[in-house]
Structure 1
Amino acid sequence: MSLVDQHVLVTGAGRGIGAAIAARLTRDGARVTALGRSEAPLQALVARGAAASYETADVTSEAAMAEACAKAAAKNGPIDVLIANAGGAESAPFLKTNAAAFQRMFDLNVMGVANGARAVLPGMIERRKGRIIAVASTAGLRGYAYVSAYVASKHAVIGLVRSLALETARSGVTINAVCPGFADTDMTEESIAKIMEKTGRKRDQALAELAKHNPQGRLIAPEEVADAVAWLIGPAASAITGQSIAVAGGEVM
């Protein structure tokens, strides 16, 4: 499946891993639609040539995602690849994490993937080709303290990927997940700031607290996640489906 003339929709494309994926796949020849909630970073992405066009939508809304995907297809043709990258994390001890927090994490991290898949899968199955990649997390493969709602939601994403992969195994569509460890993104910077605020540690100490999970002792670059995505949607990965590929320096084996 060559990316030349392929239409790829990337959710959460305004920053971090999503922006890196959009830029990489654009360089590989894809027509990329960048999707997010905030217009300004999407406009900037298009302006610097890292995406062909953009749409704004809240991935937690099934109707909004269906409408955005329809608009994207009208501009750039049928959606051949969905990168369901939009997500977020909230941190608190479990006993201070209420039902509303669990619901927010599930709506964003799980339904964001499900709503996107529901919008694009019928066309992919009809054309008998397509790729869906969920950007999950190592939190979908192991546990972490103080982020129970986030971890639960990312485990659910992995379960969704596995189930959909079985349902679509003979359709020409593959469905996989990539699972980054702590990456060099704004979301990680927010985590560093919280550690500094709560513990009084300096930034390098807070960074080391996160980087220690990676046996390589570093944060993952967004471009490294984009490389994994590019491989999974390429022709060499046509037999890869239902998998969760950790991009984490050996943290998960």
Structure 2
Amino acid sequence: MSDVSRTALITGAGRGIGRAVALRLAAAGHRVALTARNRDELDETAKLCDGPAIVVPADLTAQGSVDDVFAMVEAEFGPVEILVANAGAGNSAPIARITDLDWQRMLDLNLTAPFRCIRRAVPTMVDAGYGRIVVVASVASKRGEPYIAAYTAAKHGVLGLVRSAAAELARTGVTVNAVCPAYVDTPMTTDTITMIANRTGRSPEEARRLLADKQPIGRLITSEEVADAVWFCVANPGVTGQGINVDGGAIQS
């Protein structure tokens, strides 16, 4: 339990990592504002939270939606003091088959939406002398893999954004970090498993093992393990500008 209850906004909070982060912050005594596109999933997350929680459905890639979400949170809970930019998605295709639409969709969701959230959060955080910004990035922020060029480019970009923002805000009381998971046991990974099975003829079990074996520990990362890393970034004011790997030892840094 934290000594001070603060207002936290979690994007992509309807399921998976976002839900685990919301529960972790709520358990610490913070007020949580939950946003994603699916209201039913958000409502379920809110029911699971221990403490005040509000649901703000939105598509953060839509023009003006970030400002609208922040305004609703501020009206209910006050200024956002903790921002966890978790919303994201991936796609897979050889470079020659990546369409302009696919490329732009990856940039819009994985890079531009977090940028807009950070831009909107920073002024009130700086004025207050306190802020915690955590972007859920990916190990794809630090290495390249075949067939995910658009996703990887966006995730490399968002890690650069985190590092630059952290340097700019270092003396203001605002920290900015990224958490970089490998394959996490979430609905997003389940979708990836289905795609691999459909494209390769492997069974879903074989496809799941293929992804699990990418981590040296031999299993998928859990959402709770990622949420713990997010909490570390929130709780420790001496940590900023970092990309913290939660990947079972895949990238040693």
TM-score bracket, shorter-length normalisation? over 0.9
Instruction: Report the counterpart of residue 5 of structure 1 in structure 2.
Output: 5
Is the partner of 2:216 in helix, strand or coil? Answer: coil
Instruction: Report the counterpart of residue 18 of structure 2 in structure 1.
Output: 18
Q: For the residues of structure 2 that align with 1:16 and 1:3, how far apart are their CA atoms?
A: 27
Q: Map of 1:82-231 to 2, 5 A cutoff? A: 82-231=83-232
Change (3 A) 1:94 1:52: same
Q: Which residue identity is paired with 1:82?
A: L
Do the aligned residues in 1 keep the contact of 2:27 with 2:49 (CA within 8 Å)? no
Q: Which residue identity is paired with 1:165?
A: A
Deviation at 1:46, TM superposition (A): 1.5
Is the partner of 1:233 in helix, strand or coil? Answer: helix
Deviation at 1:63, TM superposition (A): 1.5
Deviation at 1:72, TM superposition (A): 0.6
Change (3 A) 1:173 1:154: same
Q: For the residues of structure 1 that align with 2:190 and 2:231, how far apart are their CA atoms?
A: 25
Deviation at 1:24, TM superposition (A): 1.0
Do the aligned residues in 2 keep the contact of 1:4 with 1:28 (CA within 8 Å)? no
Is the partner of 2:239 in helix, strand or coil? Answer: coil
Instruction: Report the counterpart of residue 43 of structure 2 in structure 1.
Output: 43
Q: Which residue identity is paired with 1:22?
A: A
Q: For the residues of structure 2 that align with 1:72 and 1:3, how far apart are their CA atoms?
A: 22
Is the partner of 2:56 in helix, strand or coil? Answer: strand
Q: For the residues of structure 2 that align with 1:149 and 1:116, how far apart are their CA atoms?
A: 21
Q: For the residues of structure 2 that align with 1:97 and 1:62, how far apart are their CA atoms?
A: 24
Q: For the residues of structure 2 that align with 1:123 and 1:163, how far apart are their CA atoms?
A: 19
Instruction: Report the counterpart of residue 243 of structure 1 in structure 2.
Output: 242
Deviation at 1:2, TM superposition (A): 3.7
Q: For the residues of structure 2 that align with 1:174 and 1:60, how far apart are their CA atoms?
A: 24
Change (3 A) 1:136 1:3: farther
Q: Which runs of 5+ in 2 are unaligned?
A: none
Q: Which residue identity is paired with 2:129?
A: R
Do the aligned residues in 2 keep the contact of 1:87 with 1:112 (CA within 8 Å)? no
Q: For the residues of structure 1 that align with 2:43 and 2:89, how far apart are their CA atoms?
A: 21
Deviation at 1:62, TM superposition (A): 5.0
Q: Map Cα deviations across residues 31-53 of structure 1 (whole Å, 9 max, x no partner).
A: 01011111111112222335611
Do the aligned residues in 1 keep the contact of 2:23 with 2:48 (CA within 8 Å)? no
User: More deviation in 34-43 or 221-230?
Assistant: 34-43
Structure 1 stretches of 4+ with a deviation exceeding 3 A read 1-4
Is the partner of 1:103 in helix, strand or coil? Answer: helix
* TM-score normalised by L of structure 2: 0.96
Deviation at 1:3, TM superposition (A): 6.4
Change (3 A) 1:95 1:53: same
User: More deviation in 2-11 or 217-226?
Assistant: 2-11
Q: Which residue identity is paired with 1:107?
A: D
- The number of equivalent residue pairs is 251
Q: Percent identity?
A: 44
Q: Which runs of 5+ in 1 are unaligned?
A: none
Q: Map Cα deviations across residues 76-124 of structure 1 (whole Å, 9 max, x no partner).
A: 1211100000000011111111222111100000011111111111100
Deviation at 1:141, TM superposition (A): 0.8
Do the aligned residues in 2 keep the contact of 1:132 with 1:175 (CA within 8 Å)? yes
* TM-score normalised by L of structure 1: 0.96
